[in-house]
Amino acid sequence: MAWIQTVDETDATGIVKEEYDAAMARAGEIYNIVKLFSVRPKSMRAFVELYLAVMFDEDSPLTRMQREMIATVVSKVNECDY
């Protein structure tokens, strides 16, 4: 696995701090996939917005469970720990 520089929670400011705080409120932790974007705050915000739109859109023809199962299968196929 590659080691990528990220912004630590204690050093976060601006957009990164806002997204870290929102992640903590949503999930009780900040997942590494979110931290990976921390050195590019605008990209981080766009990633989080896309994730929320895909996974939580109430107008989706797929249920939340189906979307989670698809994400799990894709991660497994890609040999990803997430």
Q: Which tokens is 77 given?
A: 């196929």
Q: What percent of the chain has pLDDT over 70?
A: 96
What b/e readout covers 58-69, taking b as 16+ CB neighbours within 10 angstroms?
eeeeeeeeeeee
Identify the pLDDT of residue 1.
45
- Token pair recorded at residue 56: 């939580």
Rounded Cα distance, 49 and 38, in Å = 14
> What Å distances lie between residue 15 and 18, 22, 37, 53, 57, CA to CA?
5, 10, 11, 19, 23
Confidence at residue 2, expressed as pLDDT on a 0 to 100 scale? 57
User: Per residue in 29-63, pLDDT tens?
Assistant: 999 889 999 999 999 999 999 999 999 999 999 99
